[in-house]
Structure 1
């Protein structure tokens, strides 16, 4: 029985195939490793090990893990590395996921090379013990890069969820751009969230192994919004944690801020904080900033904004609390990749504090705007939206290009050889428009 959580799939009995699945879900014989066939509902299991370590990875992998748990013929195992230990556990508890392995690899003041070394040693032991038929990794973290290489060294096939994102600059974001390029080279199955990501992979001669799925973060968001919409007590409990916020529709617009990128450490965060302090002085908005635990972020934020009027600093939020704040927000200011995907699905304008983004689909759709980390650029862009409700409303009418909330189902179908329709071909029956409407009581 699948462990309890938000997602409960009911897949039919099917043949289970591993390796070499193309964009259309067909099997490439040169990559075929083994086929398991169901006879009278008896099935030899294919063992799939999902490896992740950060909170954003956990949010994006959780719906996929639940789909794998519910799939007949799949033995789903989970290894977490503890790259974000405390923040990671919040997500695991929410989705009812109990890891089979926890490396607890993060230590205080650990360098990237030190972390990488610990991850290689720990993951190699796990791979030797589990001997999975396939490893799944997500995105662009140190965990993903090391897990992919460690699996490759043991000749274990790798599937890369959220493959093909690119900025074209190896140092923006750093080290994520290099990490995801390495994983895409190593992986034999590439689950691209969009056609643009697919095109990036094809340009690098990685064609023939790509499936366009949509982004699993929209799966998680769909589930969380449904939970918030149906659970009045949960919504009231969360809202009670933010008594300082003015009532929706009657007060000043809410600016929700997230910022944590390594390339902004130092001068970048000083500029960001200076802009927020100036915006707070205008009195035209409420500002909520859940502050990352990294001291390179917390230091300048607390020093500049700790006593600023109209600024509410919080510790990192659990996923339901953060989604609820996104629902209530009028503007989102971020350097996060995931938030660039999530907030537009709620119809929120997103200002991105970066010079480049690996999510050009959002730029093309007009759901996000790049503004960099310059103090004046941030101040002007936020203030323009804060005082112009019609400009904010225009964002809500634009279509989020990142998914329909069913990417995980496509990935599992691809893994087990079940027919499916790639994301973007057409909407699947009964699926909602990709923009998720906030409740009427949301700001």
Structure 2
């Protein structure tokens, strides 16, 4: 039997033998050693309890350790841990039917993957195979993953060591530019400008060469930015005009995060050709993602080999996790709770914006909200201080400098929303001294 490790031993073992992502490795000893979690909270080995205001990586929608999902994982493990993707199983069939009929009605079929990055990779392969074209459009400031193809798809300057990327990937002006000196009288005028610029760029790039346009339905890592009125419908119309497939990246905001199964469902006249998803489908209980395709794409691949294959795609335990997770959303009416608690959270952020000079631009949809830090509060040094203040007060937001992202689990209560707002108020009072 293994002896129980001390907190220091746990931290040191992690420091010595595994990599942490997106960070210099020497910082790992500053981390929290997590002992457990339940609902919206997790705790360390010293008994300190933290309210998770960021749903970990904006994925833990149903909170920690929901017994219904845990039991579904155990039951599937007892029945069948693994069978190759080429075999038909009950759990695969039930999950695929559930997603197509209830979560994304009107679509055709679904390919299951291991997460969001590979879902986006396969969407590109499917699009290029279907259209016979090679170019791909995506927005500046978008985020779609960390593998080579998805990193090239990303529209952010900080792509790590992935440049120069893959030939044929083209980035276009996205809605984040409204914060970079461009002024418009109305939202409709702004949308018209963006769409005119996009069409001009499509023409210059030769539309007959463009396989697909990939867009987040609400920007996540690039700023938590809701698409302006009419924008996604305009993209749909341009894609139809030039025979380009429209791919909606719903990895972060799918499965109830904004109050609908998928965020594109908020907008009339927007039916994607493909939808990619991951985070909220299993809420991190097991690795999972997928690509949902339209009926016309599904029909095309009836007679053409699908250019996809992973040893662990449609893994039985992951499929059981996803089906049970969807059941939790339905049983607990979490899409409605996301909408209602999200309105309360955003209203509170608007009031904090009026009160504090260190923040600006309160925004959000459902339980996906953010505030921008400004001036001296937006520096790297300030970020560390603000993060530590949150930790000391028992709340963990999802901080993406220069902004604070508040995207708690969809199970959150009114009282827990108020606690997040109260702690944020205290943190911003200190942030005001840095401006």
TM-score by length of 1: 0.36
- The one of the two structures with greater contact order (alpha-carbon pairs below 8 A, sep at least 6) is 2
TM-score by length of 2: 0.37
